[in-house]
Amino acid sequence: MLIKLTGGTVYDPMHGINGEVRDIYIQDGRITDPPNDMPIHQVYSLNNKIVMAGAIDIHSHIGGGNVNIARTLLPEDHWANPLPHTELLRAGSGHIIPSTFATGYRYAEMGYTAVFEPAVLPMNARQAHMEMGDIPLIDKGGYALLGNDDYGLRMLAANKDQKAFNDYVAWILRASQCLGIKVVNPGGINAFKFNQRRLHLDEPGPYYGVTPRQILLRLARALHELDVPHPLHVHGCNLGVPGNLETTLSTIEGIAGLPMHLAHIQFHSYGAEGDRKFSSGAAQIAEAVNRNPNITVDVGQILFGQTVTVSSDSMQQYANHLHAYPKKWAFVDIECDAGCGIVPFKYLDKNFVNALQWTIGLEIFLLVDDPWRVFLTTDHPNGAPFVSYPHLIRLLMDRSFRNDMLATIHPDAARASTLGAITREYSLYEIAVMTRAGAAKLLGLSDRGHLGIGAAADITVYTKQEDKEKMFSKPDYVFKDGELIVRNGEIIKVTWGTTHVVRPEFDNSIEKELSNYFDRYLPMKLGNFKIHDEEMIYFGQGHIQVHPCRERNSS
Amino acid sequence: MFYHTQTGIWEEVPNPFCGIAADDLKVKVEDNRLTIIENGCPVTQPAFEQAIGDSTPQIQGKATRLETAIARANKLLSHSRLPLISGLATDVEGVRAALALADYYGAVIDHMDSKATLRNMLALQTGGWITTTLGEVRNRVDLLLVVGSDIESCLPRFFERYIWNSETLFGQDTAQRKIIYLGQSPSGQAACRPDGRAPLILSCKQEELPEVVAVLRAQAVGHPLQAESVAGITMEKLATLVNRLKQAQYGVITWAAEQWNFPHAELTIQMLGEIIMALNKTTRCSGLPLGGRNGQVTANQVCTWQTGYPIPISFARGYPDYDPYHYNTKRLLESGEADALIWISALDQNDRPPITSIPTVVLGRAGMNFTQVPEVFIPIGTPGIDHGGHAYRTDNVIAVPLHKLRESRLPSAAEILYAMLEYRC
């Protein structure tokens, strides 16, 4: 079937198209050349409509054991937010930590077509994929967590050569069916199991004597040498600690120019100045990002209201658990691999710290010059539920709205912030960069995030409106792989997306030693640890797309 | 790796029948008969070795074609006001399919052992918890406190695999691990150290556990008490126990909720959680809920990610609603609210549906015999024997893959449930 989208105003930053009227043709799920003499089966007239690629969320906790523990912990979120079934849609529930079907529906309704889970513990990857496998409509993928796994730390402690370490990293990517590697509080989650409550960037950790900086460097180098497109995805040391700005700056400066993505950087941009010993480090962080082209960031914006913080960083989550609201929390030490900490949280605009956190995130968005290197996230659900993205986009695009909101927060926080003086307003082109083109580029998804010939036909169409929150809340049309799935903000067809993975080459002889390690110390055999393709594809619901690791030193 | 060493022999087979889901079993297959030749246990062996009986679908005890049986089941469902889908002893895929059916028909979904699981879930939902996994226990535990449970009767290999393992990652001599039982004494020798020394036992009756644990909690959080003893255990002994937990580097407190038959057992689990939280102010200590047979944990996990809630759940209002008391299988059958029962039991031929006057459709492990003949019986295969699948371990974290070991041609629960949806009236 040949579909024509005609007369729309196209924003396709990958091809430098900034608001030009273009026609787009879709055939067999892909964007195709204008046809010669072929019958067109459907035409969508898109005059005065905005056309972008489907949006991509690079960091959102949508599936993985930690998400399910958070769901269990908070039945109140589900009782308050029932999602009835329809003839087309499955029932579900939840607003801050929605069930899987609800997650897929809500993302697709906002024009998102791919979402990436950043905390896939290799030991728990099977669960992450099973949960994500029940999320309809959108594509998904995961970043496998390393840097607190006993085996990897042992390799670093023994100073194994980089090649052997690279083989291990590549093996983990393949065994856990992931697209990238994430590190969370390098060494810190493991140190917590030895009853250590804090681990600084250059502090040798317990038992292994390896510092977090060494872990970061070795992992970043591994991904670089393996030519994995997505750079090391980093949740740094000292999350949420006042004064952690210095740690973050040191992390940026100390990565030796290797590519590195710093996740939810808002939580890592705090100074310790002022009466309350809590201040914004946004300006210094943004300046460091601007100065270091190897660095990308996503913000992890907080927005006010009830949410739940969900993290593998059991060490820092434990340190913050006394702030829980409601007052209950769950922690798990997991399989000598990583951990999990769930702490419900309510961000209040009248609370000085929360209000300043809000301004810090927005300052970072607005002070990082290059929209290709800063990404729109709330670290769902940590900073806020993902359904608040349209509101966040309006804050970035509409200065007067932003200043109106600034006037409502804790007055001392508003005074302490430079946000009111920042005049920048994001353009539609810049929004398309940070939520589409830049995201696809950062992840190495060459056929997503743009509208060029051959791209997957993941396309979102909006009506141009002054109120950008309204505009981005309810697209007119969303096409997923060429099929119309959303019309006027409502789902009209349910499809199942693909799981994006990479499979870098490695020397498989490492399996001998790994297998011996599993047999001696762990309750699972190596062969049962590895996730096979057949497990990802069942009852017609799952697909896998393998992305190439780019050729070394090619551009 | 899971593999054939020779014709008919499978190595590294994961176990779907026991909560620890060991994957070191060696299984022989001859003409569809299975024998565990290595690493079986009294729980696993009979479950693996059940013979395939008659695998013909039946309506009112008479053989019929599968299509006819499915059509009859669908007719029952379409005439039902409140169908109840229970049993739910199956794999991840089976639970997924059961939820799809429940959503479509507005049914209640529950598990045969939900009462046991709920004791843990209610404690988690009320106060949260700090827990650990079997792999951490195997490598780190230095003190194991067993509260009111006989572990070896439900998980016969627990001590062999996780406590008396020969090697640990951090150089610990496992023979020095301290085992303490609070409540009942163990039924066998599994908890004895390799040198034969028995574990320390602070005994009390099961119904006295809430009181004893409350006192232990008071001591752990530093609340002084006037009493000199509780349930025959002196304060001094409990104080010593708290001190030992405080001095342990990685203490683990474990319990098997399915063995607790006193009222409001969830409150005792909650108190254990509070003890653990208090200990973590200065040292590390974790909980380890044990049990998880019959796919309890599997059912909970899948229900939670698809609906937001653990079992039991009702879809009667068109959306999932969780109420541990109202949607309990026994209550719904006794009150007469449920008017059709779909019973799923893929793991054990002996897990038959409760006796009831309402029409019953059984998706049961082939060879199941009935005292009360159901309206419809569809024999199904067992995950990890007749088809692949996934099952969760007792620690609520790790899922193991299950593999197909023989060519029985028995359908999976999921295949039948999806067929029921496809050919619904």
Chain B contact present for A85, CB below 8 A: yes
User: What pTM was computed for the model?
Assistant: 0.97
The predicted pLDDT at position B111 comes to 98
* Interchain contact, B136 vs A193, CB within 8 Å: yes
Between positions 295 and 314 of B, the ones with CB within 8 A of A are 300-302, 304-310
Q: Match 């254990």 to its residue by tokens.
A: B272
**B34-76 pLDDT per residue, tens:** 999 999 999 999 999 999 989 999 999 999 999 999 999 999 9
* Chain centroid to CA B213: 24
Query: Is the per-residue pLDDT at B400 higher than 60?
Result: yes
Domain match, B141 and B255 both? yes
Domain match, B328 and B394 both? yes
In sequence order, the 6+-apart residues with CB closer than 8 A to the CB of A531 are: A125, A126, A129, A175, A176, A177, B401
Tell me how many residue pairs between chain A and chain B have CB atoms under 8 A apart: 206
3-class secondary structure per residue, B106-134: CCEECCCCHHHHHHHHHHHHHHEEEEECH
Q: Is A323 helix (H, G, I), strand (E, B) or coil?
A: helix
Burial (CB count <10 Å: 0-12, 13-18, 19+), residue A483: middle
DSSP state of A436: I
Tell whether B122 is covered by a domain: no
Domain match, B152 and B276 both? yes
Burial (CB count <10 Å: 0-12, 13-18, 19+), residue B125: buried
Between positions 227 and 286 of B, the ones with CB within 8 A of A are 249-250, 280, 283-284, 286
Distance from C-alpha of B333 to C-alpha of B340, rounded to nearest angstrom: 9
Q: Which domain holds residue B223?
A: 132-283
The sign of the CA dihedral A163, A165, A167, A169 is negative
The single-letter code of the amino acid at B415 is E
How far is the alpha carbon of A220 from chain B, nearest alpha carbon, in Å?
26
Query: Is the per-residue pLDDT at B16 higher than 90?
Result: yes
- Neighbouring C-beta atoms of residue B75, cutoff 10 Å: 15
Between positions 490 and 509 of A, the ones with CB within 8 A of B are none
Tell whether B76 is covered by a domain: yes
Please state at what angle helix A282-291 crosses helix A352-367, rounded to 10 degrees: 20
- Neighbouring C-beta atoms of residue A185, cutoff 10 Å: 30
CATH for B197? 3.40.228.10
3-class secondary structure per residue, chain B: CCEEEECCEEEEECCCCCCCCCCCEEEEEECCEEEEEECCCCCHHHHHHCCCCCCCCEECCEECCHHHHHHHHHHHHHCCCCEEEEEEECCHHHHHHHHHHHHHHCCEECCCCHHHHHHHHHHHHHHEEEEECHHHHHHHCCEEEEECCCHHHHCCCHHHHHCCCCCCCCCCCHHHCEEEEEECCCCCCCCCCCCCCCCEEEECCHHHHHHHHHHHHHHHHCCCCCCCEECCEEHHHHHHHHHHHHHCCEEEEEEEHHHCCCCCHHHHHHHHHHHHHHHCCCCEEEEEEECCHHHHHHHHHHHHHHHCCCCCEECCCCCCEECCCCCCHHHHHHHCCCCEEEEEECCCCCCCCCCCCCCEEEEEECCCCCCCCCCEEEEECCECCCECEEEECCCCCCEEEECCCCCCCCCCHHHHHHHHHHCCC
- Neighbouring C-beta atoms of residue B67, cutoff 10 Å: 11
How far is the alpha carbon of B136 from chain A, nearest alpha carbon, in Å?
5
The single-letter code of the amino acid at A421 is A
Beta-ladder partners of B341: B84, B360
Chain B contact present for A87, CB below 8 A: no
In sequence order, the 6+-apart residues with CB closer than 8 A to the CB of A292 are: A252, A253, A257
Burial (CB count <10 Å: 0-12, 13-18, 19+), residue B373: middle
Q: Which residues of A touch B302 (CB under 8 A)?
A: 130
Residue of chain B whose Cα is closest to the Cα of A91: B319
Residue of chain B whose Cα is closest to the Cα of A339: B132
Domain count, chain B: 3
Distance from C-alpha of A230 to C-alpha of B357, rounded to nearest angstrom: 60
Tell whether B196 is covered by a domain: yes
DSSP state of A437: I
Q: Match 């702490």 to its residue by tokens.
A: A343
How far is the alpha carbon of A190 from chain B, nearest alpha carbon, in Å?
11
The predicted pLDDT at position A426 comes to 98
Among B246, B313, B397, pick the best mutation site for testing chain A contact (most A Cβ within 10 A): B397
* Cα Rg of chain B (Å, integer): 23
Please state at what angle helix B66-78 crosses helix B92-105, rounded to 10 degrees: 40
Domain match, B79 and B178 both? no
CATH for A284? 3.20.20.140
Domain match, B29 and B85 both? no
* Chain centroid to CA A115: 7
* Interchain contact, A91 vs B307, CB within 8 Å: yes
Among A127, A129, A314, pick the best mutation site for testing chain B contact (most B Cβ within 10 A): A127
Chain A contact present for B127, CB below 8 A: yes
* Chain centroid to CA A210: 27
In sequence order, what DSSP letters do the residues of A511-543 get, joined into one string? Answer: HHHHHHHHHHH-SS-HHHHSPPHHHH--TT---
Query: Which one of B31, B46, B61 terminates a domain?
Result: B46
The predicted pLDDT at position B123 comes to 97
The answer to whether the beta carbons of residues B35 and B403 sit under 8 Å apart is: no
In sequence order, the 6+-apart residues with CB closer than 8 A to the CB of A141 are: A114, A116, A117, A178, A179, A180, A443, A499, A500, A501
pLDDT tens for the 555 residues of chain A, in order = 899 999 999 999 999 999 999 999 999 999 999 888 889 999 999 999 999 999 999 999 999 899 999 999 999 999 999 999 999 999 999 999 999 999 999 999 999 999 999 999 999 999 999 999 999 999 999 999 999 999 999 999 999 999 999 999 999 999 999 999 999 999 999 999 999 999 999 999 999 999 999 999 999 999 999 999 999 999 999 999 999 999 999 999 999 999 999 999 999 999 999 999 999 999 999 999 999 999 999 999 999 999 999 999 999 999 999 999 999 999 999 999 999 999 999 999 999 999 999 999 999 999 999 999 999 999 999 999 999 999 999 999 999 999 999 999 999 999 999 999 999 999 999 999 999 999 999 999 999 999 999 999 999 999 999 999 999 999 999 999 999 999 999 999 999 999 999 999 999 999 999 999 999 999 999 999 999 999 998 777 889 999 999 754 444
Cβ-nearest to B161 among A72, A332, A523: A523
How far is the alpha carbon of B355 from chain A, nearest alpha carbon, in Å?
31
Distance from C-alpha of B8 to C-alpha of B162, rounded to nearest angstrom: 30
Beta-ladder partners of B38: B26
Distance from C-alpha of A537 to C-alpha of A543, rounded to nearest angstrom: 6
Cβ-nearest to A92 among B125, B300, B307: B307
Residue of chain B whose Cα is closest to the Cα of A517: B169
Question: Closest Cα partner for A125 from A101, A147, A144, A99?
Answer: A144
Q: Match 């958070």 to its residue by tokens.
A: A70
The sign of the CA dihedral A130, B403, A515, A542 is negative
* Interchain contact, B96 vs A90, CB within 8 Å: no
* Interchain contact, B390 vs A130, CB within 8 Å: yes
The predicted pLDDT at position A127 comes to 97
* Interchain contact, A84 vs B317, CB within 8 Å: yes
**B363-379 pLDDT per residue, tens:** 999 999 999 999 999 99
Tell whether A518 is covered by a domain: no
The predicted pLDDT at position B260 comes to 96
Burial (CB count <10 Å: 0-12, 13-18, 19+), residue B46: middle
Tell whether B63 is covered by a domain: yes
The predicted pLDDT at position A553 comes to 45
**B265-283 pLDDT per residue, tens:** 999 999 999 999 999 999 9
Tell whether B417 is covered by a domain: yes
The answer to whether the beta carbons of residues B298 and B16 sit under 8 Å apart is: no
Cβ-nearest to A328 among B128, B161, B399: B128
Domain match, B34 and B58 both? no
* Interchain contact, B301 vs A68, CB within 8 Å: yes
Tell whether A508 is covered by a domain: no
Domain match, B346 and B389 both? yes
Q: Which domain holds residue A294?
A: 52-498
Cβ-nearest to B125 among A63, A72, A127: A72
Domain match, B32 and B63 both? no
Chain A contact present for B5, CB below 8 A: no
Between positions 111 and 130 of A, the ones with CB within 8 A of B are 123-124, 126-127, 130
The predicted pLDDT at position B3 comes to 67
Domain count, chain A: 1
CATH for B335? 3.40.50.740
Domain match, B379 and B356 both? yes
Q: Is A400 helix (H, G, I), strand (E, B) or coil?
A: helix
Tell whether A548 is covered by a domain: no
Domain match, B136 and B276 both? yes
Domain match, B187 and B308 both? no
In sequence order, the 6+-apart residues with CB closer than 8 A to the CB of A327 are: none
Domain match, B76 and B137 both? no
- Neighbouring C-beta atoms of residue B320, cutoff 10 Å: 30
Q: Which residues of A touch B142 (CB under 8 A)?
A: none
- Neighbouring C-beta atoms of residue B386, cutoff 10 Å: 25
Q: Which residues of A touch B138 (CB under 8 A)?
A: 521-523
Question: Closest Cα partner for A365 from A356, A375, A378, A355?
Answer: A375
Among A153, A176, A193, pick the best mutation site for testing chain B contact (most B Cβ within 10 A): A193
Query: Is the per-residue pLDDT at B1 higher than 60?
Result: no
* Interchain contact, A527 vs B12, CB within 8 Å: yes
In sequence order, the 6+-apart residues with CB closer than 8 A to the CB of B231 are: B204, B205, B208, B211, B212
Tokens describing residue A225: 């040498």
Cβ-nearest to B133 among A332, A515, A521: A332
DSSP β-ladder status, B340-345 and B360-365: parallel
